[in-house]
Amino acid sequence: MIGSGGREHALLLGLKRDPSVTELHAAPGNAGTAALATNHAVDVASAAAVVALAKEVAADLVVIGPEVPLVLGVADALREAGIDTFGPGAQAAQIEGSKAFAKDVMAAAGVRTARAEIVDNPAELDAALDRFGPTWVVKDDGLAAGKGVVVTPDRAAARAHAADCLENGHPVLLESFLSGPEVSLFCLVDGDTVVPLLPAQDHKRVGDGDAGPNTGGMGAYTPLPWLPQQMVDRIVDEVCKPVAAELVKRGTPFNGLLYAGLAIDDEGPAVVEFNCRFGDPETQGVLELLQTPLGTALAATARGTLADLPALQWYDGAAVVVVLAAENYPGRPRTGDPIAGAGGEGVLHAGTALNEKGEVVSSGGRVLSIVGRGADLKAARAQAYERLAGVKLTGSHFRTDIGKAAEEGRISL
Ligand code: GLY
């Protein structure tokens, strides 16, 4: 397993539960993965280092969690070395790495998405901003882990973010605002074979009631009681399959996890973004409900036999994930504090490390994700928050309303 976040911890937990998996290694991993796997201090952006580690441990399968090594071609290097790998090559990973590439693929595949313009010249910024609004969506056209996106009714704030990106040498993407509830649909993709997982919903804003700035994700729940199966089928047929087919047509087939972030409005699904990997924190919830052995599903995808995999099996009920974030996140987070209760049931690690005394300490913005499961959203929420009450980290914060609007029937299409 390549990566060190909450989704990688969840993936390792899923692999650990698969009886066909005999040994687990993580690079670099975190304090939580150390309890499931052997952690290796390897630079995951270095294809040579990852290939060397995979050879050293005689890996049967390498699963790449984060987008950075994928965009850098680490999956290509592993495949060239003859190692089965779950994760797209550098070219297909551009679906996340470059918003402009994603727009081009969607246009060619006839997939509905927001109207967009790329601005790379500061002199053109004001005129371009005038062509958007009254809600502005400004995206850094590069990898920014969700934090490069500003959605605001305040033109000055939109302008400031765009100017910031341009000053740092990054083009910006201005987009029309898509209304309607958001859905994250993850699909296992092997060429043009597309197998959806359960739909989930992230909570991107830092505060209750969707207040405050965007984050990498403060919590999630799955499945979505307000989303009919027919709409999931439409997402697969109108979005995921055409994009997978377009990448095959371009000679750069996608192999791994295609994450479609969508808004659903009166006309149906429209794409907000694609990611080339499992999403965080939705993964922690979705995998909690997956009954099919995870290693079998990932290996079938990596080996090009996804079409032969029996239909995925799921546990009944719901899962809720609440992220515990460090003080000041999504700004520069406070780190290095000891965490009490980090080994509790359902507590998955993201920004954690072991200090020299072997204690679990915070090391990033999103520190832990706490997973609850139950017969319905109410029960899953109750379990997640009960488990969270057993965790203590100085200055930390979390949202108290993850999955609440859905539980109370306040989301509809
Ligand atoms: N859930 C947002 C992300 O993984 O980027």
Q: How, if at all, do strands 205-207 and 116-119 pair?
A: unpaired
Nearest to 354 by CA among 82, 89, 27, 35: 35
Closest CA to 278 of 19, 13, 31, 84: 13
Which of 11, 201, 202 to probe ligand 1 with, by most ligand atoms within 8 A of CB?
Answer: 202
Q: Ligand 1 in contact with 148 (CB < 6 A)?
A: no
Instruction: Kindly list the structural domains of the chain, giving each domain's residue range(s) and its CATH number in brackets, ordered by start.
Output: 2-90 (3.40.50.20), 116-175 (3.30.1490.20), 180-308 (3.30.470.20), 318-407 (3.90.600.10)
In terms of Cα–Cα distance, which of 196, 187, 122 is closest to 159? Answer: 122
Phi, psi of 37 (to 5 degrees): -145, 170
Any atom of ligand 1 within 6 Å of the Cβ of 279 = yes
Each residue's pLDDT, cut to its tens digit, for the chain (413 residues) gives: 999 999 999 999 999 999 999 999 999 999 999 999 999 999 999 999 999 999 999 999 999 999 999 999 999 999 999 999 999 999 999 999 988 899 999 999 999 999 999 999 999 999 999 999 999 999 887 665 555 789 999 999 999 999 999 998 888 989 999 989 999 999 999 999 999 999 999 999 999 999 999 999 999 999 999 999 999 999 999 999 999 999 999 999 999 999 999 999 999 999 999 999 999 999 999 999 999 999 999 999 999 999 999 999 999 999 999 999 999 999 999 999 999 999 999 999 999 999 999 999 999 999 999 999 999 999 999 999 999 999 999 999 999 999 999 999 999 99
Which of 280, 286, 369, 399 for a ligand 1 pocket mutation test, highest count of atoms within 8 Å of Cβ? 280
CA of 69 relative to ligand 1 center, distance in Å = 16
CA 192 / ligand 1 centre spacing (Å): 23
pLDDT of the residue at 140? 86
Ligand 1 atom closest to the Cα of residue 278 is: 4
Sign of dihedral through CA atoms 66, 68, 72, 74?
negative
Q: How far is CA 195 from the centre of its chain?
A: 17
Nearest residue (by CA) to ligand 1, atom 3, is 279
Ligand 1: distance of its center to the CA of 372 in Å?
19
Ligand 1 neighbourhood includes 280 CB (under 6 angstroms): yes
- Nearest ligand 1 atom to the CA of 279 is 4
Distance from residue 280's CA to the centre of ligand 1 (Å): 5
CB of 146 closer than 6 angstroms to any ligand 1 atom? yes
pTM, two decimals, is: 0.94
